[in-house]
Amino acid sequence: MICIDSVMAGILSIPSCTIKPGICAITGPNGSGKTSFLKLLSGIIHPERGTVIIRGEDPDRCTIGWVGEYPDRNMLFTRVYDELASPLRFAHFSCEEIEQTIKTLASDLGITHLITREIRGLSGGELVLVAFGAALIAKPDLLILDETDSHLDDEFCFRLDVIIKKSNIRHVVFSTHRPERMATADEIIILDEGRIVSQISLLDKGNREFDERLQDPWFWRRVYKHIPGDS
């Protein structure tokens, strides 16, 4: 559980919010505070007032994975292996452990063939997968995706959905403008001018608040159910 209580942070003003374990989508107009909200959850910005607690801990004490819109901009190393290894090396894992973990993770992500490559020269999609690898390798308490979907096609997003489901991470929070992506979440938080204007559960079908079909996550679930992504 993520609990936000009486928070004031930059443009954000959140009296109270609870996010259950699972996948949560954050949406809202430009400048509504989506990225600020994600930074708040990850401990990158601290609230001026109030508290954020993730599974009983302060965000600073949690392991957070972050993948942004341009994943390569957060990369620190020049080789894929070093980038994947970095969170474990910083945590003083042994070389054998690191090697084993990378092997398993790379195979899960389908990037075994990239391990020895340089980051430079990877395609956009390959960069996203490597960034996912670096975010997942430390088994984060919370995985954050900040509009990672904005340059990705549907099939690629389906592939990431499978990776996320398989990773068993307790909390995944992603920001998006695309209703079809929100369809993959368990709940949706809608922000406007730094405030939460709506929090909708998609676990319970009775809860429909979308008038236009193309804006309705339930409609998109229908589309994706009938059309598998791998065709």
Partner 1 sequence: MKREMNRVHLQGVVKKKGTFTLYAEGEFFPGVHLITGKVGSGKTSLGEILAGIHTPDEGTISWEGNMRVMLLQDTSYHVTTITVREEAASWHGNADQIISLAGLADKKDTDLFSLSRGELKRLILAAILTGKYDIIVLDEPYAGLDNEARKWVNRIIEISENQVIVIISHDITSLPDVQYLWEMDEGKLFCIGRVPEELKNWNRPPPLVRYLWRNGIILEGLARYDLEKAVCRIPE
Task: List contacts with partner 1 (CB under 8 A).
Answer: 28-31, 35, 69-70, 121, 123-126, 128, 147, 150-156, 177-180, 212-214, 219, 222-224, 226-227, 229, 231
Pairing of strands 2-9, 12-19: antiparallel
In the complex, minimum distance from the CB of residue 191 to partner 1, in angstroms, rounded to a whole number = 11
Closer to partner 1 at the Cβ: 81 or 156? 156
Closer to partner 1 at the Cβ: 93 or 156? 156
In the complex, minimum distance from the CB of residue 179 to partner 1, in angstroms, rounded to a whole number = 8
Closer to partner 1 at the Cβ: 204 or 214? 214
For residue 46, give Cα distances in angstroms to 4, 8, 12, 51, 171: 12, 9, 11, 9, 19
For the CA atoms of the chain, what is the radius of gyration? 18
In the complex, minimum distance from the CB of residue 103 to partner 1, in angstroms, rounded to a whole number = 24
In the complex, minimum distance from the CB of residue 147 to partner 1, in angstroms, rounded to a whole number = 6
Q: Which of 189, 173, 145 is nearest to 23 (CA)?
A: 173
**Residues 54/63, Cβ–Cβ less than 8 Å:** no
d(CA 157, CA 181): 8
Under 8 Å CB-to-CB from 17, ≥6 apart: which residues?
2, 3, 4, 189, 196, 199
Angle at 2 between CA 43 and CA 89, to 5 degrees: 45
Closer to partner 1 at the Cβ: 88 or 189? 189
d(CA 54, CA 4): 9
Closer to partner 1 at the Cβ: 56 or 228? 228
In the complex, minimum distance from the CB of residue 126 to partner 1, in angstroms, rounded to a whole number = 7
